[in-house]
Amino acid sequence: MRHNRRTVLTGTGAALALAASGASADVTYDFPGGRGARPTTRAYPQKGLMVLQRDRPPLLETPMEVFDKGVFTPNDQFYVRWHWSEVPAQIDAAAYRLAVRGHVDKPLSLSLPDLMALPRVEIAAVNQCSGNSRGFFEPRVPGAQWGNGAMGNARWAGVRLADVLARAGVKPGAVQVRFSGLDEPAVSDGPDFKKSLGIDHARQPEIIIAYAMNGQALPLLNGYPLRLVVPGWYSTYWIKTLSDIEVLDAPDDNFWMKSAYLIPDNPHADMKPGQAGVVTVPINRMPPRSFITNVVAGASLKAGVSASLRGLAMGGDCGVAKVEISADDGKSWQDAALDRDEGVYSFRRWAARIIMGPVGSAALLVRATNTKGEVQPATSNWNGSGYMRNVVERTPVILT
């Protein structure tokens, strides 16, 4: 089912020109081994100031200071990631159809009004790229060298995937549901971007086909008019410009499930560089993470007095139970106060006052524990694809 495909985003042309002119670095990530300088851009449609990671396809990162402003990430600074450069440039909403087909009783072709006639549900959820924070891995790994801004939190509104599947009538023997959108491979033999979820997972009530994000239609670059939202799971499954849902009666062995987005099959997706015989599985649920958002690396703070810290935490695929901070590089920990709970899949804001140590260099740490009792590790995981980075974040500061 292919329709509504157009190319060349007007704004992308402008961004290409900016990149080609060799725009100077506007942000510098503290990546091991350097190479962290990046330009910022305002050249993309429906987007404000973004960090430009790549222009074709557009990979735009949310500047870190945005995360200090609120628990939800504004649509115009929400990060953007596509695999193929032929991204949909305009959508004819009146002609848009979502196909539901495969191992079903009654294949469907749903217009946007058809879809919106189903019960509306809302859920706050973190959308995080599997490769978020990849630039911090040591040794360095190939792939987009993201800082920590390939994540965002939004209130998504739409309809339950389960309701749509029920309308089509899933036949006995279904094992997975496969999703794809309007974007196309740049080369004709490239594999179309498709991802699948197990049938039982696909029927969970939190999985929605979203038509709104923070109370507005999705920005085109974030998947207008429809995207899948899979709360608690990495965003590789959150298919944008969702146009095709296919119920499968055999496991999906397409490239993006069988060969890409695989992680070592252990709780932290961890392995040693060069390690042989590592068993892999498709990436799936997210672990807890937390960040200090009001102090940047290298900042000067006053020694011996208390300082206010605040930031964000996420539980992964469950809620945040606890956030702790340390002003002495992890020797002692203190609980932070958790802000309003927007739902288990949302970011959770936290705040604390903590006494700074004596004059000199120091490190501020933050760690989250989720409601399953999982806590962030003191040392980072590592894997060759740079997925699922997780470690207690450390912010070096100078006390004066």
Ligand X SMILES: Nc1nc2c(c(=O)[nH]1)N[C@H]1C(S)=C(S)[C@@H](COP(=O)(O)O)O[C@H]1N2
Residues forming contacts to Mo ion in the complex (CB under 5 A) are: 129-130, 236
Q: Which helix (H) or strand (E) holds 367?
A: strand 360-370
Residues 353, 337 contacting (CB under 8 angstroms): no
Q: Nearest CA to 228 among 110, 125, 333, 343?
A: 125
Q: How far is the CB of 315 from ligand X (least distance, A)?
A: 19
Which DSSP string do the residues of 269-330 spell out, in sequence order?
Answer: ----TT-SS--EEE--BPPPEEEE-SS-TT-EE-TTSEEEEEEEEE-SSS-EEEEEEESSTT
SS3 state at 163: helix
Q: How far is the CB of 320 from ligand X (least distance, A)?
A: 22
CB under 6 A: which stretch of 114-122, 239-247, 266-274, 371-379 binds ligand X? 239-247
Contact residue for ligand X among 83, 97, 101, 201 (CB under 6 A): 83
CA distance 69 to 139: 33
Q: How far is the CB of 312 from ligand X (least distance, A)?
A: 16
Query: What is the Cα Rg of the chain in Å?
Result: 21
Residues 234, 283 contacting (CB under 8 angstroms): yes
Contact residue for ligand X among 66, 91, 124, 129 (CB under 6 A): 129
User: Does the footprint of ligand X cover residue 224 (CB under 6 A)?
Assistant: no
Q: How many residues bind ligand X (CB under 6 A)?
A: 19
- Toward Mo ion, which CB reaches closer, 153 or 236? 236
CA distance 126 to 77: 14
CB under 6 A: which stretch of 139-147, 238-246, 249-257, 374-382 binds ligand X? 238-246
User: Does the footprint of ligand X cover residue 239 (CB under 6 A)?
Assistant: yes
CA distance 86 to 39: 23
Q: Nearest CA to 63 among 82, 78, 44?
A: 78
- Toward ligand X, which CB reaches closer, 129 or 321? 129
Contact residue for ligand X among 133, 235, 376, 385 (CB under 6 A): 235
Start-to-end C-alpha separation, the chain: 63
Exposure b/e, 141-173, CB count within 10 A at least 16 = b: beebbbbbbbbbbbbbbbbbbbbbbeebebeee
User: Does the footprint of ligand X cover residue 241 (CB under 6 A)?
Assistant: yes
User: Does the footprint of ligand X cover residue 256 (CB under 6 A)?
Assistant: no
CA distance 99 to 79: 27
Binding mask 149-188 for ligand X (x = CB under 6 A): --------------------------------x-x-----
Q: How far is the CB of 195 from ligand X (least distance, A)?
A: 8
For the segment 183-202, give every residue that binds ligand X (CB under 6 A): 183, 193
Q: Which residue is nearest to Mo ion (CB)?
A: 129
Chain centroid to CA 7: 25
CB under 6 A: which stretch of 80-88, 294-302, 310-318, 342-350 binds ligand X? 80-88
Q: How far is the CB of 227 from Mo ion (least distance, A)?
A: 13
238 binds, among Mo ion, ligand X, none (CB under 5 to 8 A by kind): ligand X
Contact residue for ligand X among 15, 63, 67, 81 (CB under 6 A): 81
Tokens representing 232?
Answer: 């608690």
- Toward ligand X, which CB reaches closer, 89 or 303? 89
Contact residue for ligand X among 176, 236, 284, 326 (CB under 6 A): 236
36 secondary structure, DSSP code: -
Q: How far is the CB of 81 from Mo ion (least distance, A)?
A: 5
User: Does the footprint of ligand X cover residue 369 (CB under 6 A)?
Assistant: no
CB under 6 A: which stretch of 118-126, 234-242, 281-289, 291-299 binds ligand X? 234-242
Q: How far is the CB of 54 from ligand X (least distance, A)?
A: 12
The answer for 293, left when phi > 0, alpha when psi is -120 to 50, beta otherwise, is alpha
Residues near ligand X (CB under 6 A) are: 78-83, 127, 129, 181, 183, 193, 222-223, 235-236, 238-241
